[in-house]
Structure 1
Amino acid sequence: MTDPAPLMPTLFLSHGAPNLVLHNTEAHRFLKSFGAALPRPCAILVATAHFATATPALTADERPETIYDFGNFEPELFRMTYPAPGAPALAERAAALLGEAGIAAGTVHDRGFDHGTWVPLRLLYPEADIPVVQLSVQPRSGPAHHLAVGRALAPLRREGVLIIGSGALTHNLHEMFGRGYALDAAAPRWVRDFGEWMREAIEEGRADDVLDYRRRAPFGAENHPTEEHLLPLFVAMGAAGGARGEQVHSSAQYGVIMMDAYRFG
């Protein structure tokens, strides 16, 4: 008789720019060491900011390709792959759980690992030997919807599945490109204030505040002109059963991209 799988935590990871995997930044070093601090999952489900659909979709390919959904970065990035297997049965199971919760969902094929998935996983689990499924976000549906998506997927934690929300704690590309911030630029005050407010709200379990961050947090809309990079946070929160989490990393990339990471559950 085998031992039951451990109850997995859920994570929110800021994946930053694709070249995070190349540069020896604080966030790079954190992710490279963090995998060893986690219980080993039997599979990974990643809600990624770079996969957007009208209703939740889960990738169901047995051998997903690595895709390069970016441009104007170092040539070596386009030669990297992340050859982890897919998990079609997990994709079907997750879609069924969502359906049971009244959330229409389905599976898709021929959709490779985007950089919101393969960049952090290449650092966390470089052997690429754990099956991976991607979950889409719905940018028009908001935080409460994504919290509900996470709650519906919570049973997967008892089945050894690591649920990761991959996005960015702050994400204003207009400011980044407009001001030409260097990779190691310090975060300006309006970015730091938002990050500190989010840390306090999450660590204190203030779910209503976090869900309504655009009105209640300082500079909420300025740090997220569009929401897709924060929506994975709510999936991770929901799958863990609430807002209370622990900040396990904080740093900045290009000044306005906070690379903070949270562990829930």
Structure 2
Amino acid sequence: MPDLSPVSLHPKRQPVLFLPHGGGPCFFMDWPDTWDTMAAYLRDIPHTLPQKPDAILVISGHWETRVPTVTSGTQPPLIYDYYGFPPHTYHLKYDVPGSPELAETVQHLLKDAGIPAEADAERGLDHGVFIPFMLAFEKADIPVVELSLQQDMDPALHLRIGQALAPLRDQNILIVGTGMTYHNLRHFMAANPQSDDASHQFDTWLADAVTQPATLRNQALIQWEDAPSARICHPREEHLLPLMVVAGAAGTDGGVRTYSDTVMGKSLSGFTFGG
């Protein structure tokens, strides 16, 4: 297990991020203007960090397991887990290294917190990771480890997972959640004033919840289903849960909305904690 003692601390702890990852391989298609603001936001991420991370731990909305599981291979492959897109999008490359050492540390931290954890040396990076990272970390020179969501979808457990992983931030590890603050695919592509209004209601509530003091923030996120239009925006919450993990890893650090846009009528946000 890598050393987590104070002598190895970097000058500044890394923030934690919740990034929107777009729709499928959207940034690499001829989709004029629709995703430009989000793409620009993702490309600017490295300039918002205190220093270049030594590694990145990412939680995507596209991997669920029975117990928390980390990718532990040295060169994770890509998983093209999107459907019906142009052929060239299935040949995108992101040859980023993995980090067995970070994967081991993640398992230790979770187990020390009483949370079972496993590793998977064969599993690759899904499009919730490599699509936004091809913009945010385009050089692919920072090792990446992915951590799964839990199939039970318990928001309190995902907050606990994040809390257990918070020490990584002092080791110059960047913790990133990728998902979408609106994820109702049946309504996303359709011009529907009711669903557009629902997305705005939920996004407004979420931004207010995330920017509250940590205790209030976490309680609000645990009770997210009580928010206005919550289940209209998230019929299933897998794209929201990465936010719970990063909010837990934020500790007492405040949250700030760093991205806000309307895409195809739907309000979307991104957040930074401790930046």
The two structures have a TM-score, normalised by structure 2, of 0.88
Using the alignment, how far apart are the partners of 2:8 and 2:230 within structure 1? 47
- Out of 188, 204, 207, the residue aligned to residue 199 of structure 1 is 207
Q: What does 1:13-52 correspond to in 2, within 5 Å?
A: 13-22=19-28, 23=31, 25-38=36-49, 39-52=51-64
Bigger shift: residues 30-39 or 119-128: 30-39
Deviation sequence 1:94-151 (CA, Å, 0-9, x none): 0110000000001112111101100111111100000000000014141100000000
* Moved beyond 6 Å, runs of 4+: none
Counterparts of 1:186 and 1:46, CA distance in 2: 33
Matched, 1:4 2:15: no
Structure 2 spans left out of the alignment, 5+ residues: 1-6
Offset from partner CA, 1:176-208 (integer Å, 9 cap, x none):
25x378xxx997111011101111111123321
CA distance in 1, matches of 2:89, 2:106: 31
CA distance in 2, matches of 1:92, 1:201: 33
Matched, 1:261 2:267: no
Residues 1:93 and 2:93 are matched in the alignment: no
- Return 5-14 or 82-91, whichever deviates more: 5-14
How far the C-alpha of 1:237 sits from its partner, in A, is: 0.5
1:79-228 matches, within 5 Å, as 79-176=91-188, 179=190, 188-205=196-213, 206-207=216-217, 208-215=219-226, 217-228=227-238
Which residue of the other structure, out of 247, 250, 253, is the alignment partner of 2:257? 247
Structure 1 CA distance, aligned partners of 2:140 and 2:258? 23
Distance in 2, Cα, partners of 1:170 & 1:262: 14
Q: 1:186 to 1:250 in 2, by over 3 A?
A: farther
Quote the Cα distance in structure 1 between the aligned partners of 2:203 and 2:248.
20
State the 1:242 CA deviation.
4.5
Amino acid at match of 1:115: H
Does the aligned pair in 2 maintain the 1:48–1:116 contact within 8 Å?
yes
Q: Equivalences for 1:53-64 in 2 at 5 Å?
A: 53-64=65-76
Q: Tell me which residue corresponds to 2:3.
A: none
Unaligned runs of 5+ in 1: none
CA distance in 1, matches of 2:151, 2:232: 17
- Amino acid of the structure 2 residue aligned with 1:188: D
- Assess if the C-alpha contact under 8 Å between 2:153 and 2:238 holds in 1: no
**Contact 2:70/2:145 (<8 A) preserved:** yes
Distance 1:107 1:2 in 2: 25
Q: Distance in 1 between matches of 2:27 and 2:71?
A: 23
Measured on the aligned residues, the alpha-carbon RMSD in Å equals: 2.1
